[in-house]
Amino acid sequence: MKLTSIKGGLFDCSQKIVLLSLIFTGLFLILGNQRVSGNDPVSEEMLQQRTVTGTILDENSNPMPGVNIQVEGTTLGVISDVNGKYTISVPRTDAVLVFTFVGYKEMKVASSGRTTIDVTMEPSVESLEEVVVV
């Protein structure tokens, strides 16, 4: 059986760890000093973002679970909970919220900087011309 010695060992390993630590520390110091300017459009949008909450009721003042709430022109949306309550983050203070539910009229409400918007949904009274029974 032939014995071979391993060169380097623990000492060589610790040198590599120290070297890598110094490199990464330098990168963090260089990259960590970058700041977001006030002229950055992303930062302005983040400053305008607001959270809107509210309750959705039917024509009899009962809470409506499962109502779709969407910010018009975006893919941002939520669904009201069992108590008809919702919370949604809107990207702009002038955002329009669209409330939809099967059998009820679509409602559009401008947020106008408000943080609470309560809505009463109106039933959609449309007659069916044909009914298909399967």
- Architecture (CATH level 2) of domain 48-120: Sandwich (2.60)
pLDDT tens per residue across all 134 residues of the chain: 666 655 555 556 667 776 666 666 665 555 555 555 555 555 555 556 889 999 999 999 999 999 999 999 999 999 999 999 999 999 988 899 999 999 999 999 999 889 999 999 999 887 556 677 87
Q: How far apart are CA 113 and CA 64, in angstroms?
A: 24
Q: How far apart are CA 66 and CA 131, in angstroms?
A: 26
Domain extents in the chain: 48-120
pTM above 0.75, yes or no: no
- What DSSP designation does 37 have? -
* Half-sphere exposure for 96 (CA within 13 Å, toward CB): 7
* Half-sphere exposure for 20 (CA within 13 Å, toward CB): 6
